Amino acid sequence: MPREVCDYYQVRETIGSGGFAQVKIAKHRLSGETVAIKVMNKVALGEDLPRVQREINALRSLRHQHISQMYQVIDTPDDIYIVMEYVPGGEVFDYIVTKDRLLEDEARKFFRQVISAIAYVHNEGFAHRDLKPENLLLDRYQNIKLIDFGLVAKPQSLQDNLYTCCGSPAYAAPELIAGKPYLGSKADIWSMGILLYALLCGYLPFDDDNTVKLYKQILKGEYETPRWLSHGSIKILDSMLQTDPNQRITVKHLLSHPWVMTNYGVPVEWRSKYKPGSIDSEVIDVMSQYYGIGTTEMSNEIAEWKFDHVCATYYILCNMKYQGKRPRLL
């Protein structure tokens, strides 16, 4: 581990790996808080390096209550390290497995948070393109945190179909499977339909070990609706699992869809709870004390959002407050 990492973080074991990356758990030395560090070797990345830049650029401009926050980027000659908010509650995927399937009210609670995250991501001009239960983690309050923007793209432009070579086919939209030019935002809506089906049923609507048969099922777009699904559930699933992307519902219409509103009565709040440019003054006080500079100077430093160690320390102290802890540095 190079000094740029070891000076600030005590890196421990690998907790997961995704494609060309390893994710390690680490401790931020100044605060004692746990973080996740995604490590990528530049040589191993090869021509995939641009994807990492896309993920980093996307994460630089995303700050939302349902997205795992990027804290710091450490670029060394051999490796790239992305330091992120650690999300302790495990994957939604495991949660569904333990409960077999979720009741409609619990599925709705999670799905409203997914709609919030995706509406925000699309509004910021991105598409996630790898939505699946494995990329939805739960924090200590059982709130959803979206992770893994490794396939992120700008939905305005038509995309190359990365999915067929590295995404998970079971969540891939028909137009993607067919290799047609497609809009990432519409592919995300299809994946959200697959996700909601998995939450409500405990298994996938299109599934087959044989990829060719799986593709045929997806292109056909016919899936079974088990008897426990309510009429409302079937309708919202149908609105997302439209094989024609132009017939598919948009995330804006999902915000106030009748199924989404049931028992809540209000549309999904999708805007970030972090007002752009808002800075937490209590955290600034702690940091300006620690670094021995004035609060104005400290605020100006943070407002540059450089994703360096000072920026990471600010985000980590904010996350401590979110966890109900007093923000402090050792």
Ligand X SMILES: CN(C)C[C@H]1CC[C@H](N2C(=O)N(C)Cc3cnc4ccc(-c5cc(Cl)c(O)c(Cl)c5)nc4c32)CC1
Distance CA 255, CA 78 (A): 43
Determine the 3-state secondary structure of 80 from DSSP: strand
Kindly state whether residue 115 participates in binding ligand X, applying the rule CB under 6 A. Answer: no
37 in Cβ contact with 5 (< 8 Å): yes
Kindly state whether residue 84 participates in binding ligand X, applying the rule CB under 6 A. Answer: yes
Kindly state whether residue 134 participates in binding ligand X, applying the rule CB under 6 A. Answer: yes
| Residue 301 host element (H or E) | helix 295-302
Kindly state whether residue 150 participates in binding ligand X, applying the rule CB under 6 A. Answer: yes
> How many C-beta atoms lie closer than 10 Å to residue 141's C-beta?
9
| Residue 119 host element (H or E) | helix 104-123
Among 24, 28, 38, 122, binds ligand X (CB under 6 A): 38
Kindly state whether residue 86 participates in binding ligand X, applying the rule CB under 6 A. Answer: yes
Q: Which of 130, 139, 188, 280 is catalytic?
A: 130
Residues touching ligand X: how many (CB under 6 A)? 17
Nearer to ligand X, 137 or 195 (CB): 137
Nearer to ligand X, 16 or 169 (CB): 16
Kindly state whether residue 148 participates in binding ligand X, applying the rule CB under 6 A. Answer: yes
Kindly state whether residue 97 participates in binding ligand X, applying the rule CB under 6 A. Answer: no
Q: How many CA atoms lie within 13 A of 162 on its CB side?
A: 18
Distance CA 309, CA 6 (A): 12
Token digits of residue 309: 């160690």
Could you tell me the smallest distance in angstroms from the CB atom of residue 88 to ligand X?
Answer: 7
Sole residue written with tokens 């024609």:
244
* Region binding ligand X by CB under 6 A among candidate stretches 84-92, 193-201, 237-245, 313-321: 84-92
Kindly state whether residue 18 participates in binding ligand X, applying the rule CB under 6 A. Answer: yes
Nearer to ligand X, 92 or 236 (CB): 92
Nearer to ligand X, 168 or 295 (CB): 168
Kindly state whether residue 255 participates in binding ligand X, applying the rule CB under 6 A. Answer: no
Kindly state whether residue 23 participates in binding ligand X, applying the rule CB under 6 A. Answer: yes
Kindly state whether residue 195 participates in binding ligand X, applying the rule CB under 6 A. Answer: no
Kindly state whether residue 21 participates in binding ligand X, applying the rule CB under 6 A. Answer: yes
**CA torsion 76→167→114→194, rounded to 10°?**
-170
Among 1, 4, 11, 16, binds ligand X (CB under 6 A): 16
Catalytic residue at 79?
no
Token digits of residue 227: 């008897």
Distance CA 266, CA 288 (A): 40
Angle at which helices 309-322 and 281-291 cross, to 10°: 130
Going by the DSSP 8-state scheme, the letter that residue 290 receives in this structure is: H
Could you tell me the smallest distance in angstroms from the CB atom of residue 87 to ligand X?
Answer: 4
105 in Cβ contact with 263 (< 8 Å): yes
* Region binding ligand X by CB under 6 A among candidate stretches 14-22, 164-172, 238-246, 322-330: 14-22
For the annotated catalytic residues, the residue numbers are 130
Residues near ligand X, by CB under 6 A = 15-16, 18, 21, 23, 36, 38, 68, 84, 86-87, 134, 137, 147-150
